[in-house]
Amino acid sequence: MLDSKLACLIPGCHATTLANCALTTKTPTRYGGGMNPPRVHHATTGPQFRGFRSPNTTPIPDEVFDELLADLSGAEVKVLLYICRRTFGWKKESDNISLNQMLHGITRKDGITLDRGVGLSKPTLLRSIKSLCEKGVIVAEQRESREKGFEATNYRLRMEHAPNPLGQIMNQGMSQNLTKPLVKKVDLQETKQQETVNKTVNGDGSIFKTLPNLGQSRDKTLYVAHAILEQLGDQQSAQFYQLIAAKVPEHVIYQALSQIKVDGAREPAKLFTHKMKLYAFSRVKNEIVHKG
């Protein structure tokens, strides 16, 4: 029994006696044979997640879960999953991703948000990219063109038996003393001199017939053609898309589809044809220059 005349010396309590102290006069109640459990406070940092719609179609290699999950940091996992989404999720082997997209996500011109980025600060993001490259998990290739200078870096997962070239470690925004990437890609640029394609998607395909076949299997051609058809939704152009899939490299096709999806074009099929014709014109022009 507490002596009610004793002064309370508990820090933070202003009671003059123990009898008046709320901290000492509280009678504990029993809970499951013990004292009351501590009150759990659920901190909220934002709106509650609405829940998943259903499992969708972004394949993740089993090695991410079986081997890498225990070794990678949370930030590295975020970056790796974002690259998986932007590549495998859009049926591509690689994708050009800017730091701004990783930091802030992608919002189409019509205001629709495709993703919200990786949720990391820029220094943490850069460290994670560098670390993933050093560990041989991803490959980052910096791109450059005469018209635009340095462009969005191309990212892909490093597949088994694929080389991990020295110097391909990303250094965007880091000290210039770091080793610069040895591999640089120059994208085909859409120039103002090229005529705008106003014809239907089933328009003149003769320019593509002048291009050599890629030498891939029939199944691969049909697979790529189906991916084009799935995004553009123009069944009448199925034969035309098979021609494109047989003549134009897969990464060029998927890059065009990716840009069209991000831009939210009103006539995606027509814009796709335009981009493919620009590629074909550029190829033919280069061959003429080399032969000359």
Same domain, residue pair 68 and 175: yes
Q: Each residue of 63-97: pLDDT tens digit?
A: 999 999 999 999 999 999 999 999 988 888 889 99
In the predicted model, is pLDDT for residue 273 greater than 60?
yes
pLDDT of residue 261: 79
- Which letter, b or e, does each residue of 36-59 get, where b requires 16 or more Cβ atoms within 10 Å of its Cβ? eeeeeeeeeeeeeeeeeeeeeeee
181 and 265 inside one domain: no
| 125 and 229 part of one domain | no
What pLDDT digit, counting tens, does each position of 41-52 carry? 555 567 888 888
Query: Based on the domain organization, do 71 and 181 belong to the same domain?
Result: yes
Q: What is the mean pLDDT of residues 225-241?
A: 85
Per-residue pLDDT at 200: 32
Residue 30 lies inside a defined structural domain of this protein: no
The total of structural domains in the chain comes to 2
Q: Are residues 181 and 231 in the same domain?
A: no
The residues with which 140 forms a beta bridge, in sequence order, are 155
pLDDT score of 198: 35
Q: Is the pLDDT of residue 108 over 50?
A: yes
Same domain, 179 and 88: yes
What pLDDT shows up at residue 62?
93
More confident residue, 106 or 17: 106
Any domain includes 98: yes
Same domain, 280 and 172: no
| Mean pLDDT, rounded, for 104-115 | 88
Domain that holds residue 271: 206-291
Domain check: are 80 and 157 in the same one?
A: yes
Q: Answer yes or no: is 175 within a domain.
A: yes
Do 97 and 66 belong to one domain? yes
Q: Is residue 135 part of a domain?
A: yes
Per-residue pLDDT band at 18 (split at 50, 70, 90): low
Strand (E) positions, 181-278? 184-185
| Residue scoring higher pLDDT (63 or 264) | 63
* HSE of 5, CA atoms in CB hemisphere, 13 A: 0
* Domain annotation covers residue 239: yes
Stretch 92-121: mean pLDDT, rounded? Answer: 90
Report the C-alpha gap between 83 and 89 in whole angstroms. 9
Q: What is the pTM of this model?
A: 0.47
Q: Are residues 172 and 126 in the same domain?
A: yes
Q: Which of 74, 215, 90, 216 is nearest to 156 (CA)?
A: 90
| Same domain assignment for residues 76 and 177 | yes
236 falls within a domain: yes
Q: Residue 139: in which H helix or E strand, if any?
A: strand 138-145
| pLDDT reported for residue 7 | 55
Mean pLDDT, to the nearest integer, of 181-204? 38
Residues in the chain: 292
Q: Is 13 a domain residue?
A: no
What's the sign of the alpha-carbon dihedral 49, 54, 60, 65? positive
Do 219 and 282 reside in the same domain of the chain? yes
In a domain, 27, yes or no: no
| pLDDT of 288 | 73
At residue 166, the pLDDT reads: 40
